[in-house]
Every structure is written in C-alpha cells, then in structure tokens.
Homo-oligomer: A and B are copies of this chain.
C-alpha cells in the first residue's frame, strides 16, 4: 500500500473495475482474478493489482479478489456511498437527454434539476426533473443542495455559467462544451468533448495507428 496521489488514469480504471464487479455481484460470482478484471476492462492483470494495491490488500493469494467486498471498497474509494445531487445546465437536446437517466441514478448520481434560459422550455418537467429558469440558478442550487453540475449549453455562455456555478457552491462540473472553463480552486472539472474524440478517431484512422497499416 502506498499514499502517493492517485492518477486520473487509475481512477478511470477503478470505475471500470467497479462496473464489472457490480455485474459479477449481480450474477452471484464470489471471486474474480486480476486477469479477468483486466481482460474485461481492457487493461493488464499487473495494472489491476498495482491500481488496487495503492489502497490496500483486498485479494487472497492463490484465489483472487472477493467480488462484493472489492465492489464495496471501490464504492467507498470513489466516494459513492452517498447519492450525489446533480443539476443539468442547458435543457437543449443534449441536456434534456440526460434528464431522468435511470442508469445515472443507479450509479449514485441523481439529477434533481435542470436550468434553461429559453422561457419556452422553462416551467415544465422532463421525466420528473423540473426545468427551472437560469436566473434562479444560485438560489435553487443552494436550496436543493446541488453538488455537481453538468454543463450542456452552447460554448458562448459556458465560461460565465461555470463561474456562477462555482460561486453558487457547486464542487464539480462535467463540461460538455468545447470551451475551457476555469471555475477556480475547489471546483473539480472533467471534460467530455465529442469533437475532440471524433478528431482523435480521425487522426488514428488517417495515420493507420490501430490498423497496423503502413505509415504516412
């Protein structure tokens, strides 16, 4: 066991292990090996053991890892023993697609509100989630105890909204825009940018990197 700072890549892999462990647990499987975890999540057995060993010793030599115990350990490590309260900013196509998303709730993230600037969209409720006017963002975030925001607006207002979210007390932002936001210290940010990923695919395809094809 080790107390270095845990890397992003490690945390990302832990999510993958957790997802598979939940599945195994539902299937009633008692034990799993680092090899199986690795194969199923796209990494190596050594990497799995290394990742887990940064937090403690959870396996049994010769046998493997107990499924439910390891699942619970990962749930604790990732901070998922509690339900997080999430809002979606922007109730356009993408934003409203995320409302009432069952799987998110099951995995610990409950979307409790959406915010929208267009008065035509404000007021109704999408799959049980109220769509509120963005002017009331600060008040509602406070009243509803929102901790994490999903930013699904056009690029233009993204930066300013990130500031407002930070000031309103949100501690994490998942940024779906292509704009770099800077909500300041104390607010964690993750980016999901479709264009970046598609451009990455484009690069890989044209260079033939994954195809084993000849170079340029």
Contacts and interface: CB of A to CB of B under 8 A. Distances in A.
Given A186-B210, A211-B186, A203 B40 contact: no
B97 A202 contact: no
B188 A205 contact: yes
Interface residues of A, number: 65
Interface string A172-216: 111000101000011111101111111111111111011111000
B195 A104 contact: yes
Contacts of A94: 94, 97-98
Interface of A: 5-6, 8, 11-12, 14-16, 18-19, 40-42, 77-80, 84, 86, 93-94, 96-98, 101, 103-104, 107-109, 147-148, 171-174, 178, 180, 185-190, 192-207, 209-213
A66 to B, nearest CB: 21
B18 A199 contact: yes
A190 B79 CA distance: 26
Given A16-B196, A41-B180, A98-B194, A78 B205 contact: no
A202 to B, nearest CB: 4
A200 to B, nearest CB: 5
A210 B189 CA distance: 9
A80 B192 contact: no
B199 A80 contact: yes
B205 A147 contact: yes
Contacts of A16: 180, 196
A101 B195 CA distance: 11
Contacts of A15: 193, 195-196, 199-200
A174 B203 contact: no
